[in-house]
Structure 1
Amino acid sequence: RKPEEEIILTFNPELAPWHMLFAQAEEFERLPPEKKTKVRHHLQQIIVVLTRGMISDQLGFVGVAREHFEIADLKEIYRRRIGRGKIGGKAAGMLLAYKILREPQPDDPFPFADRVVIPDSYFIGADVFYDFLALNGLYRFSDQKYKTREEIEAEYPEIQQAFMRGRFPEGIVERLRRLVERMGNAPLIVRSSSLLEDNFGYSFAGKYESVFRPNQGSPEENLQALLDAVRQVYASTLNPDALLYRRQVGLVDYDERMAILIQRVEGRRHGRYFFPTVAGVAFGRNPFRWSRIIRREDGFMRIVFGLGTRAVERVSGDYPRMVALSHPHLRPEITLTEIKKYSQHFVDVIDLKENRLATLPVPEVLHPRFPGVQWLAAVEEEDYVQPLHFLRPGLPSDRLILTFDRLLQETDFVPLMKAVLTKLERAYGRPVDIEFTVEIHREGRRPVPIVHLLQCRPLSRRETRPVRDFPAYVPQEDIVFLTTRLVPDGVVERIEYVVYVDPREYGQIPDQTIKREIGRVVGRLNRRLEGRRFILVGPGRWGTANLDLGVRVGYADIYNTLMLIEVAFAGPEGTPEASYGTHFFQDLVEANIYALALYPEDEGAIFNRAFFENSPNALPDLLPEDAPYARYVRLIDVRAVTGGRLLEVIMNAEEEKAIAYIREYKEP
């Protein structure tokens, strides 16, 4: 019997036009199974070429994508792409994760195709960014990344204005006009999706803009608002935090291009407001255990009521629900006072009547007749929290507390999220984090949470930290601090300097201008101490927008530090919220900066106030112009105050213990 001839390609896929690749691949996919097996290698090559050209050329991504994408998937992406170029990292991560989840596997615990969806999405190709720069003479800013930090910060407002005046190619405007007509008055979000975002090494979490557009005007007004949002995202490629982050992680020479992801906002209309029932971020690993029974490998979530902005950013005076997926019923708070205080008090919504984003007190939106309220809220009784098992129409809205307890404990939401994270981790070969929203559907009387997947990225391998045994004995006078709460794994050696913002002095500052300037002093110390080994220790929440809760700093102010430590003395604002899961925390992870919270008044905790408050302050010597702030900001030269010794911090998550102590080091 004569063997069948091998099917060969008559063209080079790397050089062929895309219409030829699509046509050939579709022909291969129509072959009967026995013949299709013989061309699988050709088909995979075409898929790789199209993936690299249209989605991402990150090899880690391509290696996973070629096992899951089919030609029909790529053709649909091509149909939804506006302009030339790749669709960028954020779009790529969402699409690949969705495809992975939809592929049925024998051991799938859920029908993921029915339980996980993605928003209606369109993509502006990254090459349109080049066209925009060329059309508006904006290439003059292309060398910003090589300027000093001071120049980058000073010139950014001018850059923003120049970008906001920019024109788009007519063909792009026309495509976006048709998109606006197709979407009608559905609220939109315009999200950055740069070529560097959400890749296998660096997340760029929160570095670039995402802009909500309520989309409630006339078609022309909606189009202009959409174009302004794209301009705003384009300008954010040159914002100081992004450029300094790229410099810090060795990506400053990369030719960053910005693609755009335009999505219909997931949610429902409730009167004049539009928002999702639940939004959040979930991680395949849980670095913070407030109980020893919590399993890190099961993952972690931060969830909120309304738009997810409050889940991924540190919002002053407000708290998401922190969920250990291994034990969703456990929470750090116990008493009614604690549960009420550390719950969500404000909700972000789209105000359809005013055509804008709005932040409202929860009682103005959540009430006893709100659909699904029994899964979201509990009732404040005299001295305890009562689950809401039945609707109570006359109940005052201000007695409702967002706990999400029944959603977490009486539906399959938590098992579903664990299964999603597990399946994605298996495909990616490492844990992932995802952003999502949730709507609660009903099948008869049974609640069925439907997850809307917005984003997926592999967690950085930087999150794997070394573990070391604690020393057998440390003299009491050599211990600088010891804590037993929310401890990660890791070791920080040979610490030469400690930058200490005194929590008590800071809390007594009446002038917001001084508090704002303290953040700038920290930024100047961060620059001056570059190349030295130092840690930051300060009050409450580092990175918060509320100056009364902590020091306002951004990534550009802290990227040289080895650790960022939050000191939580009891006071009017209580203890700080753990920052894990926020974009600010992701900055720390990607920069290999350890985050640690100290609770000096905990039983068993040690906080050596004499070391922090009585050691000589080197700030006036290092930064004479900042001497007026020496009362609030202390720079401790560890060698100088310890007779040549240095500071070491050992953190062990399994033992729930971290210790900082003075020790001798042999000269290297």
Structure 2
Amino acid sequence: ALSDAPDEEILRHFLRGKLPRRIKDDLLALFEVVDTPIAVRSSSLLEDSHYQPFAGIYSTYMVPKVTDPEEMLKMVTNAIKGVYASVFYADSKAYMTATSNVIDQEKMAVILQEVVGREVDGHYFPSFSGVGRSLNYYPLGDERPEDGVAEVAVGLGKYIVDGGLALRFSPRHPENVLQTSELTLALRDTQTRMYALKMDAAATAGQPGSDDPMDHLKVDDGYNVAKLRVQDMAEKGALKYMVSTYDFRDNVIRDNDSGDGRRVVTFNNILKHKAYPLAEAVDLMLTTGQEAMQRPVEIEFAGMIGPDPKMIGPGEKHKGRLYWLQIRPIVDRKETVDEALMNTPDDRLLLKSATALGHGNIEGVSTVVYVRPEKFSSSNNSLIAREIEKINRGFLDREERYILIGPGRWGSSDTALGIPVKWPAISAARLIVESSLPNYRIEPSQGTHFFQNLTSFGVAYFTIDTNAKRREGDPVTALYDVDYLNAQPAVYESDYIRIVNFPTPLAIGINGLKGTGVVLKPE
């Protein structure tokens, strides 16, 4: 486990291990009363730390419900071993290094949770899943940072964690949804795929008759999760109230799930027409959670829309159920911000953002790693991600930090939206910047486990849209002087990436409550 063995080899050894008989007896008793799939997930000391939560680093496996208790036992016990094995994977070890932890400090329990959902055509999923944060560093219009923010998506919440196009809203301003404010945005920036658990045991257990444990579990905890088209599931009636229909004849979106045309995940019937009190419930969870924990919180939830015949009698009316799955603290850093730094004239700035995540001054960073805009094509995003992972490893080995700049959404699993890095691949960055290009503008991302890690490490995140329209005379709110960087000598240069090292650390400041951030050019 402590070696540099590949993840697959580590998993193979863990799967050969034996669990105590009493645990197997307890599991068999559990299967008699639980008639849903089971999520097998970690609950560790470091994940629950108030200062450096390890959100989303370890594996979470979902096990479908099968009628044979012995087959179910085998799948669940393998998943438990797989969760423990994931503590020792390469990504987890890199994360430990980045957080100055040693693996001996970690203590882990495993939680079994019923998976919220219903089965539709061999696939099991909740009506919707979401994450909420009681601090919103991307407030829109009259929203305030303390109003909180939520992201929701149809299907399993893994879609949000993987950086998919979920719907973002403030629970106190549920009608204020940027993604559905214009037709073009609604068609471009809403969910088209969704995740669901495959219920076919043969498909999920690999080779049922095989003695090789690796045929029954994979390192990738999403190996038995299907990526489905929203259109297909909506046409089966499984996404009522969450989707609207695009009427191409009249070029409008109608808030129902009938008729011809593309189904668009707008949640309009819920957020605007109140078919289900989602915004009020999320606000209650965030407010209650923050009061109880005495600090800002992040929550996970999932819900079912419509009555559940198992829960209520015939003829009873029921809008559905909302399940509160998890809560953890967000670290709210309250360092003072140097106002003189924040008011530096534009000609002395390398970067300036009006949508900045983070707070305070960042010191000791003298290196900029940036994706070359003139060479950028989203078709190369996977190659760029691999190159950045190698670069990051070098920074970790040298115990150095850097500023990372690139187009689109960092960490997205969709390569069309941005560079698909996982957190351990950029863990040495102290400031991460989403920049825009004239023909490549993506809405800023928000609310994934990725962001939990950003805030807990005090890593800043800038969104810089230099294409945004502004009126004459208005101050510049977005600035990225790439020509200045290009004019500096590079310590590393490839087809896609340049690295510039300055002799003195760069001055970096972020005002989290105003959402502004600056990086100064060296004197």
Give the number of the structure whose residues are more often helix, by fraction.
1
CA pair 327-225 structure 1, distance change in 2 beyond 3 A: same
Match of 1:405 in 2: 268
Match of 1:579 in 2: 445
CA pair 515-656 structure 1, distance change in 2 beyond 3 A: closer
CA pair 218-484 structure 1, distance change in 2 beyond 3 A: same
Tell me: higher relative CO, structure 1 or 2? Use CA pairs within 8 A at least 6 residues apart.
2
- Contact kept, 8 Å, 1:377 with 1:388, in 2: the verdict is yes
- Contact kept, 8 Å, 1:541 with 1:549, in 2: the verdict is yes
Match of 1:248 in 2: 98
- Contact kept, 8 Å, 1:377 with 1:402, in 2: the verdict is yes
- Contact kept, 8 Å, 2:405 with 2:432, in 1: the verdict is yes
CA pair 384-286 structure 1, distance change in 2 beyond 3 A: farther
Q: Equivalent residue of 2:87, what SS?
A: helix
- Deviation for aligned residue 1:612: 2.4
- Deviation for aligned residue 1:365: 0.4
Please tell me whether residue 161 in structure 1 is matched to residue 31 in structure 2.
no
Match of 2:437 in 1: 569
Gaps of 5+ in 2: 205-223, 470-475
Which of 479, 489, 495 is the aligned partner of 1:606?
479
When the two structures are aligned, how many residues end up with a matched partner?
485
Match of 2:217 in 1: none
Query: Hey, what's the Cα distance between the residues in 1 that align with 2:50 and 2:449?
Result: 17
Letter of the aligned partner of 1:479 in structure 2? L
Query: Hey, what's the Cα distance between the residues in 2 that align with 1:239 and 1:522?
Result: 19
- Contact kept, 8 Å, 1:298 with 1:326, in 2: the verdict is yes
Q: Which residues of 2 match residues 314-333 of structure 1 at below 5 A? A: 314-315=163-164, 319-333=165-179
Query: Hey, what's the Cα distance between the residues in 2 that align with 1:560 and 1:510?
Result: 22
- Contact kept, 8 Å, 1:248 with 1:591, in 2: the verdict is no
Match of 1:182 in 2: 33
Please tell me whether residue 379 in structure 1 is matched to residue 245 in structure 2.
yes
Query: Hey, what's the Cα distance between the residues in 2 that align with 1:565 and 1:662?
Result: 16
- Contact kept, 8 Å, 1:214 with 1:357, in 2: the verdict is no
- Deviation for aligned residue 1:301: 0.4
- Deviation for aligned residue 1:570: 3.9
Letter of the aligned partner of 2:255 in structure 1? L
Q: Normalized against structure 2, the TM-score is what? A: 0.84
CA pair 270-520 structure 1, distance change in 2 beyond 3 A: closer
Q: CA RMSD in A?
A: 2.9
Match of 2:150 in 1: 301
Q: Equivalent residue of 2:124, what SS?
A: strand
Gaps of 5+ in 1: 1-140, 145-150, 620-628, 640-644
- Deviation for aligned residue 1:445: 11
Greater Cα radius of gyration, structure 1 or 2: 1
Match of 2:212 in 1: none
- Contact kept, 8 Å, 1:378 with 1:388, in 2: the verdict is yes
- Deviation for aligned residue 1:361: 0.5
Q: Normalized against structure 1, the TM-score is what? A: 0.67
Query: Hey, what's the Cα distance between the residues in 1 that align with 2:267 and 2:40?
Result: 29
The percent identity for this pair of structures is: 27
Query: Hey, what's the Cα distance between the residues in 1 that align with 2:177 and 2:132?
Result: 16
Query: Hey, what's the Cα distance between the residues in 2 that align with 1:446 and 1:468?
Result: 56
Match of 2:193 in 1: 346
- Deviation for aligned residue 1:488: 4.5
CA pair 271-192 structure 1, distance change in 2 beyond 3 A: same
Q: Equivalent residue of 1:162, what SS?
A: helix
Q: Which runs of 4+ in 1 moved over 6 A?
A: 442-447
- Deviation for aligned residue 1:177: 2.6
Query: Hey, what's the Cα distance between the residues in 2 that align with 1:156 and 1:544?
Result: 23
CA pair 181-408 structure 1, distance change in 2 beyond 3 A: same
Q: Equivalent residue of 1:562, what SS?
A: strand
Please tell me whether residue 480 in structure 1 is matched to residue 480 in structure 2.
no
CA pair 502-158 structure 1, distance change in 2 beyond 3 A: same
Letter of the aligned partner of 1:331 in structure 2? V
- Contact kept, 8 Å, 1:515 with 1:547, in 2: the verdict is no
Q: Equivalent residue of 1:586, what SS?
A: helix
Please tell me whether residue 518 in structure 1 is matched to residue 387 in structure 2.
yes
Q: Equivalent residue of 1:365, what SS?
A: helix
Letter of the aligned partner of 1:660 in structure 2? V
CA pair 481-530 structure 1, distance change in 2 beyond 3 A: same
Match of 1:648 in 2: 507
Please tell me whether residue 448 in structure 1 is matched to residue 319 in structure 2.
yes
Letter of the aligned partner of 1:583 in structure 2? H
CA pair 273-156 structure 1, distance change in 2 beyond 3 A: closer
Q: Equivalent residue of 1:294, what SS?
A: coil
Q: Which residues of 2 match residues 10-89 of structure 1 at below 5 A? A: none
Query: Hey, what's the Cα distance between the residues in 2 that align with 1:445 and 1:219?
Result: 34
- Deviation for aligned residue 1:563: 0.6
Post-superposition CA distance 1:184-212 (Å, at most 9, x none): 5x211111122332233332101111101
